Amino acid sequence: MRIALYQPDIPQNTGTIVRLAACLAVPVDIIEPAGFPWDLAKLRRAGMDYLDLAQVTRHVSWAAFQADRGPGRLVLLTTRAERSPYDFAFASTDILLLGRESAGVPDDVHESCDARLRIPMVAEARSLNVAVSAALVLGESLRQCGGFP
């Protein structure tokens, strides 16, 4: 299991996701360009000392990520999906892809994913915070695959 962040905008969310991944021994791929410098103090503050514990790989572009990612399905978390992660059979080799906080992912990235999932919520709600979404779906995928440390 891996988490991939597509051009993240908000360093605090990225730091929180990196901390989550470090605590659960899940590698993180950062697909650049990010909307902030990697060494920004806000990123380090959100990730705390877990940034040093995390396994983070930075990719200069979507094309570089695609070339380097290896095996496994690309599973996009998006508000533009109908299927729930709670009705999906995860595999231990899946890569959970999260888009930019401001815009998600472009159509070509959306279409290149093997599966697209949407967290169920009340109709009046637009979306959850990206770090909260990552935690919910990563937890379900690790539960299904017996992947908790």
Q: What is the DSSP string of 47-99?
A: HGGGGGTS-EEEESSHHHHHHH--SS-EEEE-TT----GGGS---TT-EEEE-
What is the CB neighbour count within 10 angstroms for residue 52?
Answer: 9
H or E element: which one contains 116?
strand 115-117
**Residue pLDDT, tens place only, 84-100:** 999 999 999 999 999 99
Give yes or no for a contact between 8 and 100, defined as CB atoms under 8 angstroms apart.
yes
Which structural domain range is residue 88 located in?
2-145
pLDDT at 23 over 90: yes
The total number of structural domains that make up the chain = 1
The pTM assigned to this predicted structure is: 0.94
The domain spanning residue 61 has which CATH number?
3.40.1280.10
Which of 134, 68, 123, 65 is CA-nearest to residue 99?
134
Asked whether residue 46 carries a pLDDT value surpassing 90, the answer given is no
